[in-house]
Amino acid sequence: MLTSYVFTKYFNTHNKNKKEVFKITHKYLSYIDDDALLSAIDIMYNKYSEVYSGFDYSHFTKNVIDPFQMLFDMHFTGINVNEWISNEVARQVGKSLSNAFGSFQESIIGLSSNYTQYPVGDPNAHGVDCISNDQTVFADIKNKYNTLNSNAQSALWDKLNKITEDFPDATTYHVQIITNVNNKNNDSVSFNKTWKVSKKTDNKRIRLISGDHFYNLVFNSPNAFKELVDILPTVLDDYMTINKKERILDAGNMSLFMELGNMTDNAGLGTDHWQFIKNDMFKKYLGFQNK
Tell me the per-residue pLDDT of 207-226, one tens digit each, with 9 for 90 and over.
999 999 999 999 999 999 99
Q: At what angle do helices 224-242 and 34-53 cross, to 10 degrees?
A: 70
Under DSSP, is residue 165 helix (H, G, I), strand (E, B) or coil? helix
Residue 279 burial (CB count, 10 A): 17
Rounded Cα distance, 197 and 157, in Å: 7
pTM: 0.81
Most confident residue range from 20-29, 186-195, 236-245: 236-245
**Do 217 and 209 meet the contact criterion of CB atoms below 8 Å apart?**
yes
Under DSSP, is residue 160 helix (H, G, I), strand (E, B) or coil? helix
The answer to whether the Cα torsion of 232, 233, 238, 241 is positive or negative is positive
CA angle 135, 116, 33 (to 5 degrees): 130
- What mean pLDDT is predicted for residues 144-161? 95
Radius of gyration of the chain (CA): 25
Q: Which CATH class is domain 112-222?
A: alpha beta
At 10, is the pLDDT very low, low, confident or very high (cuts 50, 70, 90)?
Answer: very low
pLDDT in tens, 106-142: 999 999 999 999 999 999 999 999 999 999 999 999 9
The structural domains of the chain, with segments of one domain joined by +, span: 112-222
